Amino acid sequence: MGIIAAVSAALAERKVNILDISQTILREYFNMIMLVEVSPDGMAIPALAEELAAVGERLGVQVRVQHEDIFTAMHRI
């Protein structure tokens, strides 16, 4: 299973909705950003981050999860 399929499947299993996906190759490294929506009664972000990190480990990649506010603050020009 590919990276996008595995991460998407893991999100779907946890009832997380994917709103947008951006992917690129940067200096020979695959980079993907997913904007997702976690329902208020859904999984807490730290728990989701831990589970997706495990998915990434099985794939041989790093998967990181951040709250949108942190991502926005870090990438503001």
24-59: per-residue pLDDT in tens? 999 998 899 999 999 888 788 899 999 999 999 999
The stretch 1-24 carries a mean pLDDT of 93
Give the tens place of pLDDT for each residue, 63-74. Answer: 999 877 777 777
The 8-class DSSP code of residue 3 comes to: H
**The predicted structure's pLDDT at residue 5:** 94
- For the domain made up of 3-74, the CATH class stated in words is alpha beta
What is the Cα–Cα distance from 62 to 42, expressed in whole angstroms? 23
